[in-house]
Amino acid sequence: MRRYVLTITCPDRVGIVAAVTGLIAGHGGSVLEAAQHGDLQSGRFFLRIEIVADSLPSGFGPAELATALEPVASEFHMEWHLTDTDVHKRVVLFASREDHCVADLLYRWRAGELECDVACVISNHEDLRALVEWHAVRFRCVPVGAEPDAKVAAFAEIDRILEHERADVIVLARYMQILPPAFCAARPGRIINIHHSFLPSFAGARPYHQAFERGVKLIGATCHYVTAELDEGPIIEQDTRRIDHGDSAEELRRVGRDVERTVLARGLRWHLEDRVLLNGNKTVVFP
Cβ atoms of residues 38 and 17 within 8 Å: no
Q: Which CATH number fits domain 3-84: 3.20.20.70, 3.40.30.10, 3.40.50.1820, 3.30.70.260?
A: 3.30.70.260
Q: What is the pTM of this model?
A: 0.95
- The DSSP annotation for 154-177 comes to HHHHHHHHHHHHT-SEEEESS--S
Where in the chain are the domains?
3-84, 89-285
265-52-50-237 Cα dihedral, nearest 10 degrees:
-10
Q: Out of 123-132, 167-176, 216-225, which region has the weakest mean confidence (pLDDT)? A: 216-225
C-beta atoms surrounding 285 within 10 Å = 21
Under the banding of pLDDT at 50, 70 and 90, the label for residue 148 is confident
CA–CA separation, 189 and 121 (whole Å): 19
Min mean pLDDT across 30-39, 60-69, 174-183, 223-232 is at 223-232
Q: Where residue 190 falls among pLDDT bands split at 50, 70, 90?
A: very high
Kindly state the DSSP code that residue 57 receives in the 8-state scheme: P
- What does 98-129 look like in DSSP terms, one character per residue? --HHHHHHHHHHHTTSS-EEEEEEEESSSTTH
CATH class of 89-285: alpha beta
d(CA 272, CA 109): 12
Across all residues in the chain, what is the average pLDDT? 95
Tell me: the pLDDT tens digits for 228-253? 887 789 999 999 999 888 889 888 88
Residue 220 CA to residue 198 CA, distance in Å, equals 7
Residues known to be catalytic: 231
Q: What CA–CA distance (Å, rounded) separates 122 from 139?
A: 6
CA pseudo-torsion sign 158, 160, 165, 167: positive
